[in-house]
């Protein structure tokens, strides 16, 4: 595909602490989509495709409420988490590149205050499918699942608790420059991080993303059409989503455990892009918890697992002087947890030159979605 499709608009609702949104989840989705379309200088009648992941708000209702025209393409991805954010963008890319649609909105809306909290488990220990191997034994939340994966990873590769802290401190530091961020105005120190209570070892309170209400969206169209619109288009240089054989199988029984489910994705992405991690000056890593971020950094090829402590230490993940600034809007932890789609928007903003923690002369910008859940996905954005 190599940039035949471009992002021409980004939009968000306001981000709220869960339960504090004054709008319904459906309204939040409409606001984000409307803002993205307006950012592109288009009208709702221009939109003929809608894609998402794990989404309750369907195109039937959205297209009618927003006044879209006839839809030529609709789709959702497989998977049970933020691993679908990048995959949704690649679906939009595929639809545009193949000619199935001319203008596709990719979005995610989430209102945990209205539809239940990801951080809480149900009272029942009945389960089926993959959960049948874990729920009866008390592993009922994403924090517990990712903690087991992270603990094993840290043990095998000598990763320290301070390396987890570096991810949190980077997100909080970047959020202090972003007025949209829910953690704006609430800085965090290393001592406060280590003093916070355990949630599921090795995760302290601050290792875990917050629960939020909000929505985010992007508009994807052809390179040719993008040249004539309001914003400078941002190319979708390459995308990848998928999984290795038996990746993500139940009961942690995959051969590569522990894994972020990104090794296969990384090979695909870099091969398609004709680039490598050494060419990327800024990246957004989905962080439902900090441990998966470190696993993703390694599996995407930025450094071997045994070198993670050195790679992330000393502020190396922080703007403006770090070797690889990550989550420059604050990410899921600092800006807001909209199932990782805010990271997609921030990756686009870095290429546009509009980030509140803008890295100089960005030609390639990476967004990595949902490590520790399969299928994994990632998107590389760049200049047209």
Catalytic residues: 286, 337
In the three-class reduction of DSSP (H, G, I as helix; E, B as strand; rest coil), residue 234 is classed as: strand
Counted residue by residue, the chain has a size of: 384
DSSP 3-state assignment of 131?
helix
Distance CA 237, CA 288 (A): 26
Contact 1, 239 (CB under 8 A): yes
First to last CA, the chain: 13
CA distance 196 to 293: 20
Q: In the structure encoding, which two tokens stand for residue 65, read together?
A: 């409420």
* Rounded Cα distance, 164 and 189, in Å: 13
Cα separation, 292 vs 296, whole angstroms: 6
Tokens representing 90 are 């690649």
As a whole number of angstroms, the distance between CA 79 and CA 125 comes to: 22
Taking Cα atoms as reference points, which of 239, 332, 281, 168 lies closest to residue 6? Answer: 239
Q: Beta strand pairing status for 364-369 and 212-222?
A: unpaired
């Amino acid at each position: 595909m190599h940039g035949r499709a471009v992002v021409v608009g980004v939009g968000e609702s306001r981000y709220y602490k869960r339960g504090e949104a004054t709008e319904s989840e459906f309204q939040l989705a409409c606001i984000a989509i409307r803002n993205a379309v307006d950012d592109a200088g288009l009208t709702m009648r221009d939109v003929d495709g809608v894609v998402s992941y794990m989404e309750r708000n369907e195109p039937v209702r959205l297209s009618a409420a927003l006044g879209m025209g006839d839809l030529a393409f609709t789709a959702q991805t497989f998977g049970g988490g933020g691993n679908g954010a990048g995959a949704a963008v690649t679906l939009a890319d595929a639809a545009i590149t193949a000619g199935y649609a001319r203008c596709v909105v990719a979005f995610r809306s989430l209102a945990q205050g209205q539809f239940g909290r990801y951080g809480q488990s149900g009272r029942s220990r009945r389960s089926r499918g993959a959960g049948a191997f874990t729920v009866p034994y008390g592993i009922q939340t994403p924090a517990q699942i990712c903690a087991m994966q992270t603990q094993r990873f840290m043990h095998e590769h000598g990763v320290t608790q301070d390396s987890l802290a570096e991810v949190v401190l980077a997100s909080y530091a970047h959020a202090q420059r972003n007025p949209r961020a829910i953690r704006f105005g609430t800085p965090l120190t290393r001592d406060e991080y280590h003093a916070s209570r355990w949630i599921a070892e090795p995760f302290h309170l601050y290792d875990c993303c917050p629960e939020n209400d909000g929505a985010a969206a992007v508009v994807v169209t052809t390179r040719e059409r993008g040249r004539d619109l309001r914003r400078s288009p941002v190319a979708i240089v390459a995308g990848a989503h998928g999984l290795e054989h038996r990746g993500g199988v139940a009961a942690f029984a995959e051969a590569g455990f522990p894994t972020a489910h990104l090794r296969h994705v990384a090979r695909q992405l870099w091969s398609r892009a004709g680039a490598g991690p050494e060419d990327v000056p800024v990246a957004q890593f989905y962080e439902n918890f900090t441990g998966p971020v470190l696993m993703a950094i390694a599996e995407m090829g930025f450094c071997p697992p045994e070198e993670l402590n050195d790679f992330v230490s000393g502020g190396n993940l922080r703007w403006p002087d770090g070797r690889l600034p990550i989550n420059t809007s604050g990410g899921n932890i600092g800006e807001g947890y909209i199932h990782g789609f805010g990271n997609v928007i921030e990756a686009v903003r870095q290429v546009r030159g509009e980030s509140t923690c803008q890295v100089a002369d960005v030609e390639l910008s990476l967004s990595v979605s949902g490590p520790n859940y399969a299928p994994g996905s990632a998107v590389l954005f760049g200049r047209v």
